[in-house]
Structure 1
Amino acid sequence: MASLSTSAAPLSLLVIFYMTTALFMSSHVVTARYHHHGHRGHHNKKQHKHNSHISYPPSISPEPSDSPVDIGFYDVRSFGAQGDGIADDTEAFKAAWDAACQVESAVIHVPVGYSFMIQSTIFTGPCQNGLVFQGPNGSTLPGPCDSPIAIRFFMSSNLTVQGIKMKNSPQFNFRFDNCKNVHIESLHITAPAWSPNTDGIHIEQTSNVEIYDSLISNGDDCVSIGAGCYDVDIRNLTCGPGGHGISIGSLGNHNSRACVSNITVRNSVIKGSDNGVRIKTWQGGYGALSGVSFLNIHMDNVRNPIIIDQFYCLSKDCSNHTSAVSISDIEYSSIKGTYDIRSPPMHFACSDTIPCTNITLSDIELLPAQGDLVLDPFCWNAYGGQETLIIPPIFCLLEGNPPAVFARNDLGYCS
């Protein structure tokens, strides 16, 4: 069973389904308890090829073409959905939502075995308690698509997303912005390894997050953690084959402030990816990243198993800046497996002016998947040390604390 639920506490929830191709629905269930949902006036000004449809709750629920079999049971076909993979079923889905939204414990049913065509759509409340959306276990068909996110949650609290299967999302699969108390579990996300920007789960300005027991194989970050996130616990993930591993960042883009703290990633597997556990920041940003633990991670033929990159840039003409997001208190423990020798297994490229501090490594055992052992981890302006013998050994970390000329505490920006 797949569930998407919220607690009985008042909240604001906006669920956005961006799917401009066909959805193949199964009997998986998405449930939600909506209490106070507000559209906060955030509008995307980009011109799309398809118009977005926003479903506003009517004063009187619309009548379906055929009455539902049971009171409170709303089959999208009863509202005119064809499910033939050709007709546009967007209005039927909106009508079913609007009707069910007014009824407590209503069920919106999307039957198995049909191909429903839905344009970019926003389903809004307020809705009665206990609304159940049967679906989606969806996939998108090849074709033009300009929607950046399949499912987005904005300003939501006490939220659970569980047991959903996504295939070939146009770009981001799930995104959580300005959310609190989020539990994500048992997701299965797949996209081609060559597909750009198909991040599995992205969180931004979101706190108290649990991401558990999921499989993500895609063409970009398995999980990406953006600015403003804290108290994040990730465990029992399988990332890959393909993709860019688990990333904190990128932080500080466009000279912005970024505050991230108390992040734990543990008991997970990363395989066949360009990166393993990665921290990436732009030059010119400010703020602080602190209190990060990567524990018991297995790497399988990963190109950059452990990497901090404070010179992240998507082009060749990024200018140098003296400002940077400060990085401190980063723990790597029990990280084992194999790496692709095209890159060193450990890479710590810290800011020229604001060093990384208190990087600790213990019980690291990384061996080449093929070829000879790379005995040259990379360090630049990185302070820390190894607490146990590790493979390969690392001697390039600077000991102690940086000199006074580098002393700068950006935690003040984040208090």
Structure 2
Amino acid sequence: MVLKKLFLIFIYVINLIFNIHTQDYNVRDFGAIGDGITDDTNSIRAALQAAANSNGGRVIFDSGYIFFTGCFQIYNNTILDVQGTILGSNSSDHYGFPGINSTFFNTMAWQSLIFGSNLANVTITGGGVIDGQGANWWPCFSDPSLPPCSNKTRPRLIELNVIKDLVIHNVTLQNSPMYNIALNFCDTAHIYDIKIFNPPSCWSTCPPLASHNTDGVNMYVASNVLIENSHISTGI
């Protein structure tokens, strides 16, 4: 119990120090429309890059807007403040290849929707939704040759590799093409007050929207990770 309290205090202090000096970058100021139809990928990437160029900041997705996007990279010292909805594309045209998983594990994988490597001090929060529109991808579990997979592994919703000091809280993740959160080589993370929803798997007569391998939080080589006060309902 004492160690848990010390861990939480450490995470709180790190985020408090960072938040005091945080500059805001609203994706709408970089041209994002947020109508759920227009491709906002380049605007989102531009906002994240601007924050990175200033050694970090808070990248805001306003409430009441739906930001349709392909994959995008997150950088050090970034708060992804998702107040509205991030709606991932369901077309492989919006996901690069090879993806971050290919680089680390020599796999044939599409890029993940939200990805990053060699990171420190990242927060994903805001009370909004990150929706991967995974229904097009789920049938690939049975037949990887089907489009949009085309014999490549499905995108993860969030994939962060070699990361330290991560916080994910107060956000809903849903309809991920594959794993919702993939953390590889992670040191010190607090995941709390989140909701993850994907349809259940099935192994005989399956409904049209059965999802497979949509794990809630999938970790490979991780330490000092606390997951609490969360609802996770996914396929296996």
Give a deviation string over 1:290-342, Cα, whole Å, max 9, x none. xxxxxxxxxxxxxxxxxxxxxxxxxxxxxxxxxxxxxxxxxxxxxxxxxxxxx
Compute the displacement of 1:99 (Å).
1.3
Q: Which residue of 2 aligns with 1:191?
A: 198
Q: 1:209 aligned to 2:225?
A: yes
TM-score by length of 1: 0.34
Q: 1:141 aligned to 2:141?
A: no
Q: Residues 31 and 133 of structure 1 are in contact (CA less than 8 Å); yes or no, is this contact kept in structure 2?
A: no
SS of residue paired to 1:205: strand
Q: Which runs of 5+ in 1 are unaligned?
A: 9-29, 34-70, 221-415
Q: Residues 187 and 214 of structure 1 are in contact (CA less than 8 Å); yes or no, is this contact kept in structure 2?
A: yes
SS of residue paired to 1:148: coil
* Whole-angstrom CA distance in 2 between matches of 1:168 and 1:154: 22
Compute the displacement of 1:81 (Å).
0.9
* Whole-angstrom CA distance in 2 between matches of 1:139 and 1:111: 15
Q: Residues 135 and 175 of structure 2 are in contact (CA less than 8 Å); yes or no, is this contact kept in structure 1?
A: no
* Whole-angstrom CA distance in 1 between matches of 2:231 and 2:44: 29
Flag the 1:91–1:6 CA change in 2: closer, same or farther, 3 A: farther
Give a deviation string over 1:105-150, Cα, whole Å, max 9, x none. 73321111222111122233xx5x5x33211522233653454310
Q: Which residue of 2 aligns with 1:77?
A: 28
Say which structure, 1 or 2, has more relative contact order (CA 8 Å, 6+ apart): 2
Return the letter of the residue paired with 1:137: V
Q: Which residue of 2 aligns with 1:116?
A: 67
Q: Which residue of 2 aligns with 1:309?
A: none
Aligned CA-pair RMSD: 2.9
* Whole-angstrom CA distance in 1 between matches of 2:30 and 2:17: 21
Q: Residues 180 and 216 of structure 2 are in contact (CA less than 8 Å); yes or no, is this contact kept in structure 1?
A: yes
Q: 1:160 aligned to 2:167?
A: yes
Compute the displacement of 1:161 (Å).
2.0
Larger radius of gyration between Structure 1 and Structure 2: 1
Q: Which structure features the higher share of helix residues?
A: 2
Flag the 1:78–1:91 CA change in 2: closer, same or farther, 3 A: same
Q: Which runs of 5+ in 2 are unaligned?
A: 1-10, 83-127, 138-148, 201-209
Flag the 1:209–1:133 CA change in 2: closer, same or farther, 3 A: closer
Q: Which residue of 1 aligns with 2:121?
A: none
Aligned length, in residue pairs = 154
SS of residue paired to 2:230: strand
Return the letter of the residue paired with 1:163: N
TM-score by length of 2: 0.57
